[in-house]
Structures are given as C-alpha cells and as structure tokens.
Amino acid sequence: MMEKDTPKETEVSSNQVAKAAIADGKITFLTEDITFDEIQKLSTLVLTARKMVEEYFGVKTTFDILICKGRWEMEVQVMSRREGRKGPINGNRRSSTNLRGEYYDLSGSVGITDYRLEEIIIRYDIAKFGHYLHEMIHAVIVKDYPQQLREGLAWYFTLKLTEKHRYVRPQYPAWVERLYISPVRKLAQILGDDDFLRDFAVGRASLEEEGIKDEEIQDMFLPAELFYSKKQKQRD
Ligand SMILES: [Zn+2]
C-alpha cells in the first residue's frame, strides 16, 4: 500500500492568494497537473468556504487541505487512510467493509475529512464549492460524536449555508438523505432553533438525546458500528 505522501507534494508558497488561504492551515497540492489559474481559483474557493464556516459557527478551522486530481489520486488517499484505523473515515462515501453495495462504493469520493490527521482531502477536478464547504464543516464538528451524527450535521449545515446558491451544492444519493439528513432535519424541527443545533455541532451546547422520543433521532447517537448494522438489517 502506498504511503500517503508518496505523490510528490508541491507547496504553493509563491502565490499570494494561496498564502492568504494558508494562514490557518496549509494547502498542499498532491498533483502537479494544475495550472496557476486553477491554483488561484481553488485557493479562493477554499478561503471563501473557510470564512463562511468561521463566520457561521464562530469556530476557526485549522485543518490542512490536500488537493488531488482524478480518481486514482483520491483512491490512494482513501486507501492509505484506511490502513490501521478502526472507525470509518468521513467521506461522502462510506468506507465500512461490513456493508455492501451502494454503501461501499468509494470510487466517487470528492472530499474526505481525516479527523485523526486533521486533514481535508479534495478532488478538485470534480469538486464544487459545496464540497469544500461540506468538508470544512466536518472540521469544526465535535470529533467525539458518532460518525453518522457528524455526517448528518455536516450535510444539514451544508444545505443550509447553500440555500440561496443551490448550484454550488454537492449532489448526494438518496441514502445520504435517508441515513443522515432526514434524522437531523427532524431533530432541527424538534429543537425549533438552528442556532442551538449549530452550537451543539461545535460543542457549545449539549443535548439530552434520551429525552427525544424518536427512534430515528436516537439512532444517530448510537456507536457507528451499531448504527450501520441496524440500518442494514432494516434494509434486508
Ligand atoms: Zn461528510
């Protein structure tokens, strides 16, 4: 298996835009197949997404951004991060091996957040603004929450922050809606207050989930392995 830093890393230090973006966490290009114009455009996207997250959540994001291009470069990143880990990584495709079919398809990954190494990996050739935003939101969500809850919150707020700009939204399959977004939306409705949910996401507020008598919501607080085996059984 390839090490994560096997591809040649190209630090962008000569670029003013990139320099602005790297003030809180650096951008590293794993691909060399990128033009100066693309670097500038991409740095603006990263900077804008970061600012949006910081302003909305009131929390600074310091995760490093790794930029790769093409399916193979992304797969190398996903595979190298699965080595020697217990839990699944956060991505818009899941990496669990105990599920099959649609859940197991990693090939379409556009972005992943590695909480352990505090890195966001983006496949820039297919990423929209919403993908950068989504992963940056992951970076401010409490690490200790179960994976499915982090995913649900990240999606809920990705959709909220792109409400007026739907064309920048990442597309997502129906199971993302069913597994992650729908329960968090239900939770938001019960709370009746997105500010509280936002504070809960970043750890400024806590929730007594036992008090919420809704199985779908309570499932979001289960350990990830239990959550996925339960959802799998419900499908079979
Ligand atoms: Zn996600």
Give the Cα separation of 152 and 168 in Å (integer).
19
CA of 154 to the centre of ligand 1 (A): 6
One of 1.10.10, 1.10.390, 1.10.600, 3.30.70 is the CATH number of 10-235, namely 1.10.390
CA of 236 to the centre of ligand 1 (A): 25
pLDDT tens figures, 177-235 = 999 999 999 999 999 989 999 999 999 999 988 888 899 999 999 999 999 999 988 88
Is the full-model pTM beyond 0.85? no
CA of 40 to the centre of ligand 1 (A): 25
pLDDT tens figures, 14-65 = 444 444 444 556 888 888 888 999 999 999 999 999 999 999 999 998 899 9
**Phi-psi category of residue 117: left, alpha or beta, with phi > 0 → left and psi -120 to 50 → alpha:** alpha
Contact (Cβ atoms closer than 8 angstroms) between residue 109 and residue 92: yes
CA of 148 to the centre of ligand 1 (A): 9
Contact (Cβ atoms closer than 8 angstroms) between residue 15 and residue 36: yes
Average pLDDT, the chain: 82
